[in-house]
Amino acid sequence: MLEATDEALCGQVRLGDAAAFNVLYDRYRHQLYGYVLKLCGSQDVALDAVQEVFMHLWLRAEALDPDRSIKSYLFRSARNYVLDYLKKAVHQQAFRQYFMHAFEEGTASSEHLLYSKQLETLKHNAVSRLPAQRQLIYTMSKVDGYSNKEIADRLGISINTVRDQLVKASRFVRVYLLRNADIAMLLAAVYAAQQG
């Protein structure tokens, strides 16, 4: 049975053959796990997705069409699971903070590059909403890399004013990102999952 084609196994699964189901499970579970892990970066979600996809397959076995690719069906189901997960997770505080932290620290992985691009656009929008002097101080510090003392000397203001303005600007940008990142991250997540 291990050498049986996917089509033959699907035909057996339609008839309720648990051994054929187990062969399909063993054949595709690691590939699905890797695929989901690449899409969302979470081992827990990847494990859950594999279990859900195969449970759904078993529960709806009578609807299987042996002439259609089971591999395509499994991967499409896994992608849909990830999309549903991301649509829900993007509204959770922990999910948003994870990506905000990765973005602010510059540690976002290549899989999350799309999130970073979306967040960079939002950050630019947030900075553009700052009062003129605060925006200038923030840009000199975060973009141009000037020290607080250099900013104070160049603008002819006290170093305490620079610190105060940076704290206020950073707080505003962080709050703006947390409030507005849901849509950007959702769009990025959906796009990434659809490309996979």
- For the stretch 66-92, pLDDT in tens is 889 999 999 999 988 888 887 776 666
Q: E-assigned strands of 53-128?
A: none
pLDDT tens digit string along 119-165? Answer: 677 788 889 999 999 999 999 998 899 999 999 999 999 999 999 99
d(CA 125, CA 183): 14
Residue 37 has pLDDT above 50, yes or no: yes
Task: Please state whether 106 falls in left (phi above 0), alpha (psi between -120 and 50) or beta.
Answer: left
**pTM (2 decimals)?**
0.51
Transcribe 35-77 into DSSP letters.
Answer: HHHHHH--HHHHHHHHHHHHHHHHHTGGG--TTS-HHHHHHHH
